[in-house]
Structure 1
Amino acid sequence: MRIIPSEISSSTRSRAERSVFAALKAIPDHQSVALHSVHLGRHRTKRVGEIDFVVIAPDILLFIEVKGGRVVQEDGKWYYGPAGHEDGPKESPFAQASGGMHEFERKLGTLIGDLRDLGVPSGYLVITTDIDLDRTTEFEPEQYLGRTAYDGGRGLAQGIERTTRFWLGRNRWGQTPVPSSVRQKMLDAIRPDFDLVPNLQSRLTDLDVAFERLTSEQMDRLDESESNPRLIWTGGAGTGKTFLAAEAARRKSVVGSVLFTCASSTLARHMTRILANDAITVLPFDRLDEVKHRAFDHVIVDEAQDLMTFDSLGVLEELVSGGLEEGRWIFMLDQNNQVLAPDAYSSEAWDYLRPLGSVYGPMKRNCRNTVQIVKQVQLFTGADLGIASAGEGDPARFVYPQDARHEANLLDTYVNELVQQDVSLRDITLLSASGNWEMSSARLSQRASKIQRFTDVVGSERTRHRLTWSSIADFKGHESHVVCLIDLEPEHLEGRLDAIYVAWTRARAQLWISCHPNVRKKLTTLGTAALQRNGGLR
């Protein structure tokens, strides 16, 4: 079902409303429109009235009142809030829904004409997402959807169908279906009041909510396979591999010692803070000689494609009890060409490792990148990043400076634009294709003196509200809400796609790409080649 606004505002704190918002959006109904948080500025009995959701459907104009948490009725009075701290007495949710419905009908009638004369049937539905109310004389069962019937949102469509049938029986004068022209008039009349585009910062917050929900779903796969001693998880960038690796390390640490390793020293430093546990040792691969005389109960290898050689597997063989053939381990890897050092990957080593464990994947749910970023990466590289599930965003923005000074000016303009949209500087990362700070255009930025180097602050508490600068290699395995790719020259694209694959997939919401002269032509060539490989061109 279409919802206006299309993204729930970060100001909506109610988990119940967020749940109903998501459930409405999931209903496969292309004719109805739901409107969230409709304000009634001139409610006749209240200073400000509000209807949680209004659904303009072919058969009914439906008003939905949502209550989350605890709801208590005592002697005809209603109280809402945490146990022991209920607020009230207040109107019943049914009185609220009925009052909001009639006030809305009056307001809409002044804009497009009396709804009854237009044959528009209406009704309301009360939803309590967390409890089941006892039946009272105040409402009929068809007017209410409790926790059991709501079922986490799965029962919402059926509940709407049931209440629609009930209200059509009460609105026998209604003409169904309501003409599409009348429905459009209703939408046009009220839409300007609340069809507001949230600023970028609120969208970033909403993407955070989606990310946490989706990665929690992926954790179910860990639950299903905890009994398997050797696992290989595969998936493209953004599919939650590092998140799963960290959760696996925490779980395994309950029953034994754990070694968590990866090729990236910056990722290892970051994970050291996340996995602060005496039973977990976090070390980058190039420091494993520090534990060469130990054998761990569990070994977890993140970004394992960077270590897929027989030499690397030999080192890991000695660090896990029972070795690779009999030990307990998890390898997380991206089979897209993500390695920054292609010579470090051996297909023969992969052929050796693969039959030793149970392979799951590739994981199909991309929970980091927006739809637009996933499409951008696929267009130029052909890489499979899975199904974008984190939400909608803006298209990648390309700029074409003539030199480093021009690039710095364009960068400053873009960052100023983000700041005006309430985006924190700490949510913006400058990724340098050259990886050379001394030669980077960032040094010509008006904020140059306040840009912090990622390698200086990763894994520490010293992060401030400042821009962060990093090479692509150092930022591998990490992510940022906004990524600005700078210092990109044609030679960075010669014969390889892995650098832009890694850089572009670090962005969760916004991607800004600066292309020096001749880079545009090279990117066009790469995109055409990717389309040809995937059958897009003949």
Structure 2
Amino acid sequence: MIPPRAVHARSPGETDVFARLRSDPLTADWIVLHSLDIAAHRTQVSGEADFVVIIPHGGVLFMEVKACRTVRREGGLWYLGNLPGEARGPFKQAAEAMHSLRERLAKARPHLSRVPFSSCVVFTHLAFRENSVEWHPWQVIDSVAMRSAPMSRLLREIMNKTRSCIQAAPHGGWLLPGSKEPYQEQCAEIAEFFRPDFECFQDYKTVAANIEAELRQFTDEQIVCLDAMETNPRVVFSGPAGTGKTVLALESARRASVEGQDALLLCFNRFLGARLAKECEAHGSGVRAKTLHSHMVEVAKIEHSPSFSNRDFWECELPRCAIDSLLSQDKPAFVFDELIIDEAQDILRDEYLDFLDLSLHGGLSAGKWRMFGDFEKQAIYGSANLALRDFYARLSAPPAEYSLRTNCRNTPSVASLAELLGGLSPGYCRVLRSHDGTEPKYLFYQSESDQVACIEQALTELFELGMSGKDIVILSMRSDESAAAAKIQSSAWRSRIRPFGPAEAGGYIRYCSIHSFKGLEAPAIILTDLDGFSRQSLEALIYIGVTRSLHRLIIVMQESIKAQLLSRITA
């Protein structure tokens, strides 16, 4: 039965016939197409067959089902129940549907042209004993016949009579005596021709354009948050991942430029800093965008910085040098009218705040500033040593606060996963993106080589969807050198993968750590190397990783942590 349920039944008669055909044990090897549309009808713009029954060793039978309780023909018009008169009676409807599709089948598949076709009319609720030259008596199944025999026998008899009628006709020699057509494989071919299965995918260029339009629309909606807090000189915008904090920070910088203010836009992550700097180029010299550390290096006039592994330098020595440099200047060149900080949760450190206090006209207590951060879940660098309330205690008066709880980046399925893995409480109040039909996918591995194979499988699937390398980022819990993506050696992928960098990497697939990619996003994210970490670190990093995804998310995880994570997802 195609479809398997009578979802398109327009009358109780069709429902009855459907049930009889489905439940009859002698129709087990038949194929029945219900409600088959006919686009190229021989006499109409389009038509429909109630049932097309394909019977092995019998033929193809077109059935017109009528559940009316009265039938009459008067003046050449057929009146079925309370319907208005119609010149095309049910027998002609069935015959025209049959001839329309038989002609198309014979033209497209000539080897099936010897399969006999027939048509009949089923009156499910009344006895029909009328005779006419316009139909054969055996082309009628009425309520009496339906009560007297199973549907399989009635339809088989019609096909037997059809065969005899064809062979007796002057031009019926094409149907050879003893012919067993259609065979089982021919039945399947006929069904596939009439109602083929198919699956179509929206091309990724269209998907990408839709995503871009959605993000533009929804982030524009988020900008009203800035309007609401315009009269407050000092504001903390707090919200989980995906709530548009970076977009709001960039818009704050643009507004400061329009107002003629000297503004400084800072963040913690160097890749995000590169993005902010590029986005702010259009604002001219009125807005400077960079990372906190690169700005302190510039202020302190340090030419050769030590490696980032020297935490004491970056967290203590560098801020002290930058502060000394500011204090030694009679007219400091690095004091700004407005301070804007993205990833503010990572800069809540006494040394950093002391430097920022000197970098702003009026200081942090009286100057104008905007801070954007996830003060619940995204402080993963370990650089901050103050809670938000401790920062407020440093000020003469607490700033205004605005809570961002509307996710404008992720699809609903990814947002839900982030809530579960991140333990967000409260969660998102709304998710603006529409459900695009995709769900996060999980691939499990046991060994390191298995993980590499899983990554290659994920890449193959994404490319089959029409994505290119620039759409895909592989994120790892580890540093670049030890990441699984760096160990891919197959000729199919090795030359197409590059470490993530501040500049666009052409059409390459890129990989980096979750730490390095924080604050950024990509159409497709493959999350890897989820092993060897504490549960708290694991869940925090996975939460950040999954929320980088705009469209597709594939999580590659070790079998040993499968139960741990899935228990959170299904709890």
TM-score, length-scaled by structure 1: 0.59
Partner residue in 1 for 2:520: 478
199-208 or 512-521, which moves further after superposition?
Answer: 199-208
Offset at 1:382?
A: 1.4
Amino acid at match of 2:495: S
Aligned mates of 2:400, 2:410 — CA distance in 1:
27
SS state at 1:308 partner: coil
SS state at 1:369 partner: coil
Q: 1:219 to 1:350 in 2, by over 3 A?
A: same
Partner residue in 1 for 2:286: 279
Q: How does 1:8-27 map to 2 (within 5 A)?
A: none
Larger-gyration structure (1/2): 2
Q: 1:196 to 1:450 in 2, by over 3 A?
A: closer
Partner residue in 2 for 1:306: 346
Partner residue in 1 for 2:295: 288
1:220 is aligned, of 217, 221, 224, to 224
Q: Deviation string for 1:423-477 (max 9, x for gaps)? A: 121110000111242453442253123312113xx2x3x4211101111111000
Amino acid at match of 1:482: A
Aligned mates of 1:279, 1:367 — CA distance in 2:
29
Q: 1:119 to 1:369 in 2, by over 3 A?
A: farther
* Cα pair 2:444 2:556 within 8 Å, conserved: yes
- Aligned residue pairs, count: 353
* Cα pair 1:432 1:486 within 8 Å, conserved: yes
Instruction: Report the aligned-residue RMSD.
Output: 3.3
Partner residue in 2 for 1:420: 464
1:387 is aligned, of 430, 444, 447, to 430
Q: How does 1:340-351 map to 2 (within 5 A)?
A: 340-342=380-382, 344-347=384-387, 348-351=389-392
Q: Deviation string for 1:245-301 (max 9, x for gaps)? A: 001101101221010101111111111111012111112111332234421001000
Aligned mates of 2:40, 2:254 — CA distance in 1:
54
Aligned mates of 2:199, 2:457 — CA distance in 1:
28
Q: 1:339 to 1:392 in 2, by over 3 A?
A: same
Q: How does 1:32-43 map to 2 (within 5 A)?
A: none
Aligned mates of 2:535, 2:46 — CA distance in 1:
58
Q: How does 1:158-173 map to 2 (within 5 A)?
A: none
Aligned mates of 1:397, 1:353 — CA distance in 2:
46
Partner residue in 2 for 1:405: 449
- Percentage identity across aligned positions? 26
Q: How does 1:311-330 map to 2 (within 5 A)?
A: 311-330=351-370
**Pair 1:257-2:257 in alignment:** no
**Pair 1:269-2:313 in alignment:** no
* Cα pair 1:297 1:328 within 8 Å, conserved: yes
Amino acid at match of 1:514: V
Q: Deviation string for 1:86-118 (max 9, x for gaps)? A: xxxxxxxxxxxxxxxxxxxx85765789xxx99
User: Which runs of 4 or more aligned residues in structure 1 lie more than 6 Å from their structure 2 counterparts after TM superposition?
Assistant: 40-43, 117-120, 191-195
* Cα pair 1:310 1:349 within 8 Å, conserved: no
Aligned mates of 1:118, 1:213 — CA distance in 2:
54
Offset at 1:324?
A: 1.0
Amino acid at match of 2:271: T
Aligned mates of 1:448, 1:408 — CA distance in 2:
11
Q: 1:485 to 1:496 in 2, by over 3 A?
A: closer
* Cα pair 1:262 1:302 within 8 Å, conserved: yes
Offset at 1:521?
A: 3.2
Aligned mates of 2:267, 2:274 — CA distance in 1:
10
Q: Deviation string for 1:132-156 (max 9, x for gaps)? A: xxxxxxxxxxxxxxxxxxxxxxxxx
2:498 is aligned, of 452, 462, 476, to 452
Partner residue in 2 for 1:331: 371
1:502 is aligned, of 538, 544, 548, to 544
Aligned mates of 1:239, 1:376 — CA distance in 2:
15
Q: Deviation string for 1:477-535 (max 9, x for gaps)? A: 0001110011221425455532111111111111111112412133246558xx5xxxx
Amino acid at match of 1:324: L
Aligned mates of 2:212, 2:196 — CA distance in 1:
27
Amino acid at match of 2:498: Q
Offset at 1:409?
A: 1.6
Offset at 1:387?
A: 2.0
Could you list the runs of 5+ residues in structure 1 that have no partner in the other structure? Answer: 1-39, 44-105, 121-190, 532-538
Aligned mates of 2:494, 2:290 — CA distance in 1:
32
* Cα pair 1:199 1:421 within 8 Å, conserved: yes
Aligned mates of 2:416, 2:46 — CA distance in 1:
41
SS state at 1:474 partner: helix
Amino acid at match of 1:433: M
Q: 1:296 to 1:493 in 2, by over 3 A?
A: same
Aligned mates of 1:367, 1:448 — CA distance in 2:
34
* Cα pair 2:235 2:402 within 8 Å, conserved: yes
Could you list the runs of 5+ residues in structure 2 that have no partner in the other structure? Answer: 1-37, 51-63, 65-79, 84-194, 300-325, 327-331
Q: How does 1:429-440 map to 2 (within 5 A)?
A: 429-440=473-484
TM-score, length-scaled by structure 2: 0.56
Aligned mates of 2:81, 2:477 — CA distance in 1:
62
**Pair 1:396-2:440 in alignment:** yes
Aligned mates of 1:209, 1:507 — CA distance in 2:
16
* Cα pair 1:371 1:388 within 8 Å, conserved: yes
